[in-house]
């Protein structure tokens, strides 16, 4: 089942501004800065204990990330919960009546596997499951 907070993802207007804030206020330096053109965002990734914290900045206006920023402003996109058997959990959640995105877990741009429960199945909360570590 759930075994840790794998990562927390925030939507922000500027990853450069948040990277400066994190370093100046918490002495945290990014472990990665990336641009995922095909997915429409830039990211900055931090390691906080065993939890990853990433901040996404949209680079296109036609993404869910850009829509979220327009509608609600900066904030948490989702919390991903660590699991040990994401494939089995995906199938188990479907068998329990949950709607999940895709036909199975997918691989994140950082190399770990993820599965997303549709908010309509989880009291309008975006639950993401994650297995593995970043590459």
Question: Domains of the chain (ranges plus CATH)?
Answer: 4-131 (3.10.180.10)
Coil, strand, or helix at residue 15? helix
Q: Residue 5's pLDDT band (boundaries 50, 70, 90)? A: very high
pLDDT digit string (tens) for 16-56?
999 999 999 999 999 999 999 999 999 999 999 999 999 99
Q: Cα(11)–Cα(67) distance, rounded to whole angstroms?
A: 10
pLDDT (0 to 100) of residue 56: 97
By three-state DSSP, how is residue 111 classified? coil
Q: What band does 134 get if pLDDT is binned at 50, 70 and 90? A: confident
Alpha helices in the chain (DSSP H): 15-26, 64-72, 86-95
> For residue range 81-130, what is the model confidence (pLDDT) as tens digits?
999 999 999 999 999 999 999 999 999 988 999 999 999 999 999 899 99
**Distances in Å between the alpha carbon of 69 and those of 11, 44, 73?**
7, 17, 4
- pLDDT of 110 reads 86
């Amino acid at each position: 089942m759930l075994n840790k907070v794998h990562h927390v993802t925030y939507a922000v207007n500027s990853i450069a501004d948040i990277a400066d804030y994190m370093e100046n206020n918490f002495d945290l330096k990014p472990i990665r800065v990336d641009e995922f053109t095909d997915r429409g965002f830039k990211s900055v990734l931090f390691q906080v204990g065993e939890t990853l914290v990433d901040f996404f900045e949209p680079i296109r206006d036609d993404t869910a990330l850009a829509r979220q920023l327009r509608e609600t402003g900066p904030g948490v996109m989702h919390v991903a919960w660590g699991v040990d058997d994401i494939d089995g959990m995906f199938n188990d959640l479907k068998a329990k009546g949950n709607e999940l995105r895709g036909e199975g877990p997918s691989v994140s741009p950082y190399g770990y596997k993820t599965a997303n429960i549709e908010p309509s199945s989880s009291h309008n909360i975006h639950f993401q499951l994650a297995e593995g570590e970043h590459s």
